[in-house]
Amino acid sequence: MSIRFSVEYFPPKTEEGIERLAAAHARFSALKPDYCSVTYGAGGSTRDRTLRTIQALQGSVPIAPHLSCIGDSRTSLLELLQIYRNMGIHRIVALRGDLPSGQVALGELPYARDLVALIQEFDATQFEIAVAAYPEVHPQAESAERDLRHFIAKIEAGAQEAITQYFYNPDAYWSFCDRLKALGCHVPIIPGIMPITQVSNLLRFSDACGAEIPRWLRKRLADFSDDPIAIRQFGAEVVTRLCEQLLQQGAPSLHFYSMNQLEATLTILQGLGRA
């Protein structure tokens, strides 16, 4: 099976951490991912660390910076786009993002579609633009239908593909894709994949971001609550099987939320015959 994939990193807080990530990234480079993305903190709070991480990782594998707009200014975002153009970056993951803690104002660009439009205005040919998609509905959406319309607005503004929030129920992904096609939207929808390495963090994060953990999976994970090795083994089996199902049914690629724990992602890729 031919497998296309990409991997997400977050910018480490120290130079030593960036060096460790760069060394681990070299292992992924040998597997020839489509690209590796680097996250961007609320209101640009990790801007400098994101830039340093991108500089450290640039090489044979394309790097795709995340860029979020809420709480940020047009001027700041345009400056960053100019830096990325000068660096030879050709892909941006454009997100609304979260407001920095304590900030109330949404800023000049309150929605991801506004950021997509800004990138297109800045340079319509330099960057391929990916946006976020929520098969299980954005946790702040007024309704599933409104959420779908908001997503289509991002595509109409110029985005060429989407990466989903992670999920463990493939039916949610295929239902989302079918609903988009029924509305005439045919951009690639890349499944976001979250390896399972630690139960409490996964449950807390999933509850916050609206990613459903199926009841059967919660129960099985509870069985291993005091055995981290068993959790990682079981998690690798579950997520590898999910990836196999998605690819066999026609998913265009896989995007791994590595959380900088690269061994878990490598284990899944090995299970898929890719590593």
Q: Hey, how many other C-beta atoms are within 10 angstroms of the C-beta on 261?
A: 14
Active site residue 237: no
**Phi, psi for 151 (deg, rounded to 5):** -65, -45
- Residue by residue, DSSP assigns 6-62 as EEEE---SSHHHHHHHHHHHHHHHTT--S-EEE---GGGTTHHHHHHHHHHH-SSS-
| Residue 249 exposed, middle or buried by CB count within 10 Å (0-12, 13-18, 19+) | exposed
Catalytic member of 8, 128, 136, 156: 8
For residue 218, the Cα-to-chain-centroid distance in whole angstroms is: 23
d(CA 162, CA 147): 14
Contact criterion met (CB below 8 Å) for 168 and 242: yes
For residue 261, the Cα-to-chain-centroid distance in whole angstroms is: 15
Q: Are strands 5-9 and 254-257 parallel, antiparallel or unpaired?
A: parallel
Contact criterion met (CB below 8 Å) for 268 and 262: no
d(CA 132, CA 163): 5
- Residue by residue, DSSP assigns 48-76 as HHHHHHHHHH-SSS-EEEEEE-TT--HHH
Catalytic residues: 8
